[in-house]
Chain A
């Protein structure tokens, strides 16, 4: 079966910055250890039991577990539990039209917690008013399952989860943001501080702890779940998001007006990489896509010579080593001229596949007006 990926950014102001959002409720069942404290056999058995109980609620979940390999490159699936973190017994269910919820619903069984219900909405679906509504709809959906599933909870602490950071409402709202402008002016640290002040967190998706996340991709999420309910948390995040989008927009305009030569340098380097790179790492690909999106958003790319559509910024995740499969690489490299050593060594042929994909999809030239202005 095929599922539609609709996480492509829209050529709108908001869509270029706010890429997508994930609303998730985590729940555990009373009286059993969390998944990673179970033996593999017990986890598999419990997983089957839970799926049966969900089906008893007359929910027509589509079980994608047996086809997980095929769905690893699906953008929605990539935002869920990563393949290397899936334990035996992990199951992924999909509900195209959940009752009372406007968007398709994903249900992970025996991930980090017993159950995680997620709705992933693209930029296209997310007007400010939609946030509250989606959070509320999803909460109602999950609440309806409670009498059947008997979730673990206490009056004092709310819903009990494996992570102490989720205990309480068990709710997490994540928003993926492309913040190339703020990163260029080195404002991510300030942004992080401001988020902390608003009881929110920013994940710069960077293990080294520096303020340069690959591809300027950051994740904004609610850091606390004990004090408030899901809708209150969503409102706080939504307010803060509005201010991030304004600041990012200002920063981008500032690059274009005050430092056009810097932008010219960024885009020219991208063109050079596209021409000569044989192999590209996942982080480099993210950076290239980020530069391309920034240039597209600011009208630097010539309308006469540009790709037919804007490749989704999130595509960088598809080309992550965790998700890039051998058949996809072989397919991409079918007609590429490469040394045999590269073709026979997986880390290299994966890197070569990224470079080939980038060359095929990001071919463009610069707008003449912009070039003239930058060189003035």
Chain B
């Protein structure tokens, strides 16, 4: 979503402007405009209150960003009503899915948890949060292959985490069914290979408790 003030940059934050006599106004703005509003809003007789999105509440495709100055101790506005946020979240979610159906640029995709863009990851090799690995799994696979000459971890874990392995197995199964449903056989083939490999590794670990995972 574009900033509602400059109409150029991506909106990162929502501002709540209290205009005397006109009630409360909500604006979705970029960081630069938010900073400007915060600095000069009062001089123009406008009370500016702002908040950052909580990453958990973010709809996909919207960058939460950090508060101006990077420190939210100096950026502590009043909270908006949660039901308003929920409504907005739903609206953004619908808008985002419409955009992606219309063939949006995948490089502009952002992690819903931390807001890190795929483009930034490609440029710097730096991830934003553990969730980024899941969200951009397919996009980072070639990067990992280039860096390591392999795409799967060949080392050992300190302690077994079988539950997450089984969860992953279930998720792969669902993804596989989905891929077959939409007749994406290339993806289905890759998912099946991954599913079989994971199933084998989990089976081995069950046979020999701690064997593969003991440090």
Contact = CB atoms under 8 A, between A and B. Distances in A.
Same assembly: yes
Interface of A: 28, 30-34, 37, 39-42, 88, 139-140, 142-144, 146-147, 151-158, 160-165, 167-169, 199, 223-230, 232
Where chain B touches its partner, the secondary structure class is: loop
Contacts of A147: 159
A81 to B, nearest CB: 15
A163 B55 CA distance: 21
A229 B212 CA distance: 12
Contact of A154 (B67, B133, B143, B150): B133
A80 B182 CA distance: 50
A59 to B, nearest CB: 16
Contacts of A28: 130
B208 interface: no
Interface stretch (B21-29, B32-40, B88-96, B108-116): B108-116
A30 B202 CA distance: 21
Interface string B130-145: 1001100000100110
Interface string B193-214: 0100010011000000000000
A37 B133 CA distance: 15
A155 B212 CA distance: 12
A40 B155 contact: no
Given A225-B148, A226-B148, A230-B155, A154 B70 contact: no
Contacts of A32: 129
A34 B188 CA distance: 32
A88 B70 CA distance: 10
Given A155-B153, A164-B121, 16 more contacts: A32-B129, A37-B129, A40-B70, A41-B72, A139-B158, A143-B159, A157-B133, A162-B126, A164-B143, A165-B147, A167-B133, A168-B153, A224-B148, A226-B151, A226-B155, A227-B148
B156 interface: yes
B48 interface: no
A165 B144 CA distance: 8
Contact of B155 (A34, A160, A169): A169
B148 A31 contact: no
User: Interface residues of B toward A: which range?
Assistant: 35 or more
Nearest to A164: B125
Contact of B158 (A39, A88, A143, A163): A143
A197 B151 CA distance: 19
Nearest to B145: A226
B52 interface: yes
A41 B149 contact: no
Nearest to B55: A33
A18 B16 CA distance: 59
Contact of A139 (B67, B129, B215): B215
A169 B148 CA distance: 12
Contact of B66 (A31, A39, A155): A39
Contacts of A226: 144, 147-148, 150-155
Nearest to A144: B158
B1 interface: no
A40 B52 CA distance: 13
B168 interface: yes
30 contacts: A33-B114, A33-B129, A34-B129, A37-B114, A37-B128, A37-B129, A39-B71, A41-B71, A41-B73, A88-B71, A140-B215, A144-B158, A147-B159, A151-B158, A153-B161, A154-B133, A154-B153, A155-B201, A155-B202, A156-B168, A156-B194, A157-B152, A160-B133, A164-B127, A168-B154, A169-B155, A224-B148, A225-B155, A227-B155, A228-B155
B122 to A, nearest CB: 10
A278 to B, nearest CB: 40
A65 B149 CA distance: 39
B165 A155 contact: yes
Nearest to A88: B71
Contacts of A144: 158
Contacts of B72: 39-42
A232 B156 CA distance: 11
A65 to B, nearest CB: 18
B60 to A, nearest CB: 16
Given A30-B130, A39-B52, A40-B73, A164 B140 contact: yes
Contacts of B105: none
A224 B151 CA distance: 11
Contacts of A34: 114, 126-129
A156 B67 contact: no
A279 B84 CA distance: 63
A155 B164 contact: yes
Nearest to B127: A162
Given A39-B72, A164-B143, A168-B153, A146 B158 contact: yes
Contacts of B215: 139-140, 143
